[in-house]
């Protein structure tokens, strides 16, 4: 790992997104909550939050971070599901890997939950949208 001990603590945020392309029949099953494994969107959001909190265990050179916020939202579109994540911490290194991991695992969870009914799924366009840092507010 890179030594970040000389860096000052900053409020850091990251936003990421990704997409999974699904067949129309699969989208209908998700809307009607008819998949055997349960509520796809809720499970995928929870999986993404859990993944963000465990990023340093998954990616060998990532620093473990004390996350102060993780938000994952999955929403249906006409041709699939968009997963968006927002992560935040006060620390010496950024939270972009946590946000990207949240999106990735959310989409993988959707894939796992739908694989019995959709053999044509495609995960696409996982990307970091925004990364910020600023000094913490003094009260």
Q: Which positions are catalytic?
A: 112
- Rounded to whole angstroms, how far apart are CA atoms 6 and 121? 45
Longest distance between any two alpha carbons in the chain, whole Å: 54
Strands of 67-76's sheet in order across: 67-76, 80-91, 10-21, 122-134
Only one residue has tokens 């909190």, namely 53
What would the DSSP string read from start to end of 81-98? EEEEEEEEEEESS--HHH
Say which residues have a Cβ less than 8 Å from residue 93's Cβ, sequence separation at least 6.
2, 4, 7, 12, 63, 65
């Amino acid at each position: 790992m890179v030594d970040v001990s000389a860096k000052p603590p900053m409020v850091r945020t990251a936003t990421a997104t990704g997409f999974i392309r699904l067949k129309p029949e699969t989208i209908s099953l998700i809307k009607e909550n008819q998949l055997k494994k349960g509520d796809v969107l809720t499970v995928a959001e929870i999986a993404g939050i859990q993944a963000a909190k465990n990023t340093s265990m998954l990616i060998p050179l990532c620093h473990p971070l004390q996350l102060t916020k993780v938000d994952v939202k999955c929403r249906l579109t006409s041709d699939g599901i968009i997963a968006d994540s927002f992560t935040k911490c006060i620390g010496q290194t950024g939270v972009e890997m946590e946000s990207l991991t949240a999106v990735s695992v959310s989409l993988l969870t959707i894939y796992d939950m739908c694989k019995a009914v959709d053999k044509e799924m495609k995960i696409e366009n996982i990307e970091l949208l925004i990364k910020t840092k600023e000094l913490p507010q003094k009260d």
